[in-house]
Amino acid sequence: MRVAQVPLKLGDEFFQDTHAAVELLRAEAPARPVVTPRGMRAWLVTSYEDARSVLADPRVNKDSAKAQQLFARQAHVTPDPDAAGPSLVNHMLNADPPDHTRLRKLVNKAFTSRTVARLRPRIEAIADELLDAMDGHAEVDLMASFASPLPITVICELLGVPKGEREQFARWSNAILSSSVTTEEMQEIGMLMVGYLTSLIDSKRELSSEDMLSDLVHASENGDQLSQGELLSMAFLLLVAGHETTVNLIGNGVLSLLKHPKQLAKLRKDPALLPNAVEELLRYEGPVNIATLRFTSEPIQLGDVEIPEGEFLMVSLLGANRDEERFPGADRLNISRKATGHLAFGHGIHYCVGAPLARLEAEVAIGRLLARFGDLSLAADPETLRWRQSTLVHGLDKLPVRL
Convert the pLDDT of each residue in 147-178 to its tens digit: 999 999 998 888 888 888 888 877 887 777 77
Contact 169, 152 (CB under 8 A): yes
Q: Are 393 and 177 in contact (CB under 8 A)?
A: yes
Which residues touch 218 (CB under 8 Å, ≥6 apart)?
A: 208, 225
Q: Is residue 2 part of a domain?
A: no
Return the CATH number at 374: 1.10.630.10
Amino acid of residue 396: L
Which domain, by its residues, includes 61? 8-402
Asked whether residue 65 is domain-assigned, the answer is yes
Is the pLDDT confidence value at 1 over 80?
Answer: no
List alpha helices for 135-273, DSSP H: 142, 149-159, 166-176, 183-206, 212-218, 228-259, 261-269
- Whole-model pTM? 0.89
pLDDT at residue number 77: 55
What does the pLDDT read at residue 110?
Answer: 64
What is the tally of structural domains in the chain? 1
Q: How far apart are CA 275 and CA 293, in angstroms?
A: 30
Rounded to whole angstroms, the Cα distance separating 72 from 293 reads: 15
- DSSP lists the bridge partners of residue 393 as 288
Residue bearing the bigger pLDDT, 163 or 292: 292
In degrees, rounded to 5, the angle at the alpha carbon of residue 93 between the alpha carbons of residues 219 and 95 is 90
pLDDT band, residue 79 (cuts 50/70/90): very low
Nearest to 178 by CA among 44, 15, 378: 15
Residue 3 lies in a domain: no
**In a domain? residue 1:** no
State the angle between helix axes of 166-176 and 183-206 in degrees (0 to 180), rounded to the nearest 10. Answer: 140
Q: How many CA atoms lie less than 13 Å away from 275 in the CB half-sphere?
A: 5
